[in-house]
Structure 1
């Protein structure tokens, strides 16, 4: 099963990262990533750019409104993610507990990633997606 670990942090969490030497942070994260690679569970891992450089597309009106970052009433920001291929939610939880960037202001949300096999296989759009995934080596 695939699980996404959504790495979140508050302003307090991000501020505490500023106190950590960047090379030390890369070492901590690199060791964690290497551990998951050696265990054969890591499928993807990406960090996100500064939220001040992002935008939000708000669909609460027509046409949608596009707003530059930083965001207004944000209590937690999505800072990056891992996608793991593990046997269970419990295994995903155990990996999340070992994440190196932890402490006050940090949280990890764990969500199962649905597979294409869970959707109606006779649907024309699912057929097109399956063909694309097969052509790109994803299946």
Structure 2
């Protein structure tokens, strides 16, 4: 089972100035992710640049329109993520409880969601195409 631990954005993560490395926080994050590696459950992890450097594609009646950032509601944005592969929801919950506070003493939130696996969609020719591409692997 794969789970994504998402760090919710805040004003600090949406700032367009270069981030200042908080050594204690960087050490806590490095320790946590090192534990994930040692347990063999880490698949990927990274921070995201502010939404001002991004864009969205908004679809209306199937036609896409580009909308440049920044996006106003930082509480709806993601500042970073960690993807883990574990045996159960309970194991994912335990790892997420150990996630260091992403912004130190500042109020913040993480959200954890399970990723779909190809097996969740049943068998079909198109699911097999994804499997051949190596997409959606657990």
The TM tier, using the shorter chain, reads: 0.7 to 0.9
Runs of 4+ residues deviating >3 angstroms: 60-63, 102-105
Distance in structure 2 (CA, Å) of the matches to 1:104 and 1:22: 15
* 1:51–1:70 CA contact under 8 A, matched in 2: yes
Gaps spanning 5+ residues in structure 2: where?
A: none
CA distance in 1, matches of 2:6, 2:38: 21
Instruction: Provide the residue aligned with 1:86 in structure 2.
Output: 86
Q: How does 1:122-137 map to 2 (within 5 A)?
A: 123-133=124-134
Structure 2 length as normaliser, TM-score? 0.78
TM-score, normalised with respect to structure 1: 0.78
SS at match of 1:22: coil
Alignment check: 8 A CA contact 1:9 1:105 kept: no
Q: Tell me how many residue pairs correspond in the alignment.
A: 131
Q: Which residue of 1 aligns with 2:120?
A: 118
Unaligned 5+ runs, structure 1:
none
State the 1:52 CA deviation: 0.9
**Partner Cα distance (1:23, 1:32) in 2:** 15
Whole-Å separation in 2 of the counterparts to 1:113 and 1:75: 21
1:30-83 CA-to-partner distances (Å, cap 9, x unmatched) read: 111101111111111121112110001112466432111111344342011111
